Amino acid sequence: MAKKSMHPVDKQVGVRVRMRRLMLGMSQEKLAHGLGVSFQQVQKYEKGTNRISASRLQRIADILQVAVSFFFEELAATGMKQAPAPSYVSDFLASSEGLALTKAFMTIRDSRVRRSIVDLVEATAK
């Protein structure tokens, strides 16, 4: 039997669940407890390997204090007709480091300082 592949929508919803959970500083265990599932199940939801039912997605939205539409915003913005953002963007924003860096970066008001930081990171990555 062939291994089933994950659907891009399931993966995107999972990325958004993880991103919001990290934004709130919530552990997988705490989210799992609120859902009455194991943290491993939450991991599978966040990776998109297990689909989230409508009722469970509503419960996740309640726990994470967002509307259900939050999990589909990027999909709605692209209309699923254009190519989605590269996976490295979603992966970066779903990581705790990426989220922390993004939050801190967005608080910097001086555009010259922000540009200097981008230049530094680009030079370091070479």
Summarised one tens digit per residue, pLDDT across range 71-112 is 887 776 555 544 455 667 777 877 888 888 888 888 888 888
Most confident of 4-13, 56-65, 74-83, 110-119: 56-65
Domain that holds residue 115: 95-126
Residue 113 lies in a domain: yes
Task: Please give the backbone phi and psi of residue 26, each rounded to the nearest 5 degrees, phi first.
Answer: -95, 140
38 lies in the same domain as 100: no
Rounded (to 5) percent helix, strand, coil in the chain: 70, 0, 30
Report the C-alpha gap between 69 and 61 in whole angstroms.
9
Q: 22 with 58, same domain?
A: yes
How many other C-beta atoms are found inside a 10 Å radius of the C-beta of residue 77?
11
Can you read off the two tokens belonging to residue 126?
């070479």
- Place 41 in a pLDDT band, splitting at 50, 70 and 90: very high
* Domain contains 4: yes
DSSP state of 27: -
Quote the CA–CA distance of 94 and 46 in Å, as a whole number. Answer: 9
Whether pLDDT at 122 is above 60:
yes
Place of tokens 């680009």: 122
Count of structural domains within the chain: 2
pLDDT at 57 over 90: yes
| Cβ atoms of residues 60 and 35 within 8 Å | yes
The overall pTM is greater than 0.75: no
Please indicate, yes or no, whether residues 80 and 113 belong to a single structural domain of this protein.
no
Question: Is 90 inside a domain boundary?
Answer: no
pLDDT (0 to 100) of residue 103? 83
Reported as half-sphere exposure (CB side, CA atoms, 13 A), residue 55 has a value of 2
